[in-house]
Amino acid sequence: MTKLSVNINKIATLRNARGGNIPNVVEAAQKIESFGGQGITVHPRPDERHITYQDVRDLAPIVKTEFNIEGNPVAKFINLVMEAKPAQVTLVPDAEDAITSNAGWDSIKHKSFLQEVIQEFKSNGIRTSIFVDPDEKMIEGAAETGTDRIELYTENFAVKFAKGNKDGITPYTKCAKLAKELGLGINAGHDLSLSNIRYFSEHVPHLDEVSIGHALIAEALYLGLETTIKKYLELL
């Protein structure tokens, strides 16, 4: 079964809009786990506009499932990950002013840099994943970095699927098969939702984990958090 890791950035966004500590991200993470969520994902950005670095420190000792920290591996981020020691770190090449992640790594151009960073994390017992576009050349490049997994950037699929174009799944299927052949684990995320997750998971083989935040939290406004999580688990 594909694991569901819930990204709680949007819960932190709601808290930060008002100040104070409501909703409490630690409590939210615990509730998500109790509802069946199989992982907690956070993506702290340098400006800390949603998840803060202190949130990561607070979450690290209480997450009982798999803790996944995403981000661009600048020095500050690397130090935070080394301190928190999550189950997984996902490297994302987002600019500091990016609203959300919008591209995967060029794993060929940045091969040496990624190799160095990945080796540092792996030597500390942290599983590594790198965010990549569904491009077979990038998958091949990722394998040469030493990463344990890739995370397929799924926005292109989601946009096409919403327009009724199911052919958008094809590159993801091909990349997943190639990644498996190269010994890589396969994660996926970005704009996956209740409306497209079943189709995606049924057509992308060897899928280890999906990381879902924005859509899941938005859907939970109408359905409730527990019901939404259970629906995802059923569809997966």
Helix 9-18, helix 214-223: angle, nearest 10: 70
Greatest alpha-carbon span in the chain: 48
Q: What is the pTM of this model?
A: 0.95
Q: What is the pLDDT of residue 101?
A: 56
Among 151, 190, 209, 219, the active-site one is: 190
Q: Write out pLDDT tens, residues 117-127.
A: 999 999 999 99
For domain 3-235, the CATH class is alpha beta
Q: Tally Cβ neighbours within 10 Å of residue 117.
A: 22
Residue 206 appears among annotated catalytic residues: no
> Does residue 95 surpass a pLDDT of 70?
no
Catalytic residue selected from 33, 43, 50, 219? 43
Residue 118: its pLDDT value, please?
A: 98
Is 50 a known active-site residue? no
Predicted confidence (pLDDT) at residue 191 exceeds the cutoff of 60: yes
Question: Do residues 158 and 192 make contact, with C-beta atoms less than 8 angstroms apart?
Answer: yes
What type of residue sits at position 81?
A: V
Q: Which helix (H) or strand (E) holds 160?
A: helix 155-162
The pLDDT of residue 46 is: 87
- 203 is a catalytic site residue: no
Cα–Cα distance, 70 to 90 (Å, whole number): 5
Q: Which of 33, 50, 70, 151 is catalytic?
A: 70
Residue ranges of domains in the chain: 3-235
Q: Looking at residues 39-59, what average pLDDT do you find?
A: 96
What confidence score (pLDDT) does residue 1 get?
A: 86
Report whether 59 contacts 29 (CB < 8 A): yes
- Model confidence pLDDT, tens digit, residues 63-93: 999 999 999 999 999 999 999 999 999 999 9
